[in-house]
Structure 1
Amino acid sequence: MRNQSVLFDLDDTLIHCNKYYKKVLDTFIELMNDWFGEHGITNQQIKEKQLEIDIHLVEKYGFSAEHFPLSLVRTYKFFCKLIVKKIDKTKVKLLKELGETVYSQDVEAYPNMYETLERLQKDGHHLHLYTGGENSIQYKKIKHLGLEDFFEERIYITKHKTLQALKNIVFKEQLKVDETWMIGNSLRTDVKPSLQIGLNTIHIPCETEWKYNIVDLNIKPKNIFYTLDRLDEVPDSIDQGIKKRLIYE
Structure 2
Amino acid sequence: MEVDFKEIEVIGFDADDTLWVNETYFREAEEEFAKLLSQFETPNKIDQELFKLELKNLPIYGYGVKGFVLSMVEMALELSNNTVSNDTISSILNIGKDMINKPVELLDGVEGVLEELSKKYKLIVATKGDLLDQERKLEKSGLLKYFHHIEVLSEKQEANYKKLLDHLEIKPKAFLMVGNSLKSDILPLVNLGSKAIHVPFHTTWAHEKVADSDVKNKEYLTLKRIDELLKYLN
TM-score normalised to structure 1 length: 0.83
* Residues 179 and 197, structure 2, Cα contact 8 Å, conserved in 1: yes
Aligned partner of 1:8 in structure 2 is 13
Aligned partner of 1:46 in structure 2 is 46
Q: Deviations over 1:105-162 (max 9, x none)?
A: 111000011111112123x11111111122221111111122221004x111123223
User: Residue 204 of structure 2 aligns to a residue in which SS?
Assistant: coil
**2:35 is equivalent to residue 30 of structure 1:** yes
Q: Which segment is superposed worse, 111-120 or 23-32?
A: 23-32
Who wins on radius of gyration, i.e. which is larger? 1
Q: Which segment is superposed worse, 49-58 or 4-13?
A: 49-58
* Residues 188 and 215, structure 1, Cα contact 8 Å, conserved in 2: yes
Paired AA for residue 177 in structure 1? P
Paired AA for residue 43 in structure 2? N
Question: Of residues 93, 96, 99 in structure 1, which corresponds to 2:96?
Answer: 99
* Residues 129 and 154, structure 2, Cα contact 8 Å, conserved in 1: yes
Quote the offset at 1:183 in angstroms: 0.7
User: Residue 22 of structure 1 aligns to a residue in which SS?
Assistant: helix
More helix by share: 1
Aligned partner of 1:19 in structure 2 is 24
The alignment covers a number of residue pairs equal to 227
Structure 2 spans left out of the alignment, 5+ residues:
1-5
* Residues 69 and 97, structure 1, Cα contact 8 Å, conserved in 2: no
Quote the offset at 1:44 in angstroms: 0.7
Call closer, same or farther: CA 1:25–1:64 in 2, change over 3 Å. Answer: closer
Pick 1 or 2: higher relative contact order, CA cutoff 8 A, min separation 6.
Answer: 2
Q: How does 1:55-74 map to 2 (within 5 A)?
A: 55-74=55-74
Call closer, same or farther: CA 1:88–1:64 in 2, change over 3 Å. Answer: same
Q: Deviations over 1:35-90 (max 9, x none)?
A: 32xxxx32111111111111222244322543100121122122213xxx624344
Give distance in 2, aligned partners of 1:160 and 1:3.
24
User: Residue 209 of structure 1 aligns to a residue in which SS?
Assistant: coil
Q: Deviations over 1:18-42 (max 9, x none)?
A: 1111222221122122x32xxxx32
Question: Of residues 185, 190, 200 in structure 2, which corresponds to 1:190?
Answer: 185
User: Residue 202 of structure 1 aligns to a residue in which SS?
Assistant: strand
Quote the offset at 1:93 in angstroms: 3.2
User: Residue 157 of structure 1 aligns to a residue in which SS?
Assistant: strand
Give distance in 2, aligned partners of 1:20 and 1:30.
16
Aligned partner of 1:114 in structure 2 is 111
Question: Of residues 141, 147, 159 in structure 1, which corresponds to 2:143?
Answer: 147
* Residues 72 and 99, structure 1, Cα contact 8 Å, conserved in 2: no
**2:206 is equivalent to residue 228 of structure 1:** no
Give distance in 1, aligned partners of 2:63 and 2:217.
28
Question: Of residues 209, 214, 229 in structure 1, which corresponds to 2:209?
Answer: 214
* Residues 196 and 219, structure 1, Cα contact 8 Å, conserved in 2: no
Aligned partner of 1:79 in structure 2 is 79
* Residues 195 and 219, structure 1, Cα contact 8 Å, conserved in 2: no
Question: Of residues 128, 134, 146 in structure 1, which corresponds to 2:130?
Answer: 134
Aligned partner of 1:199 in structure 2 is 194
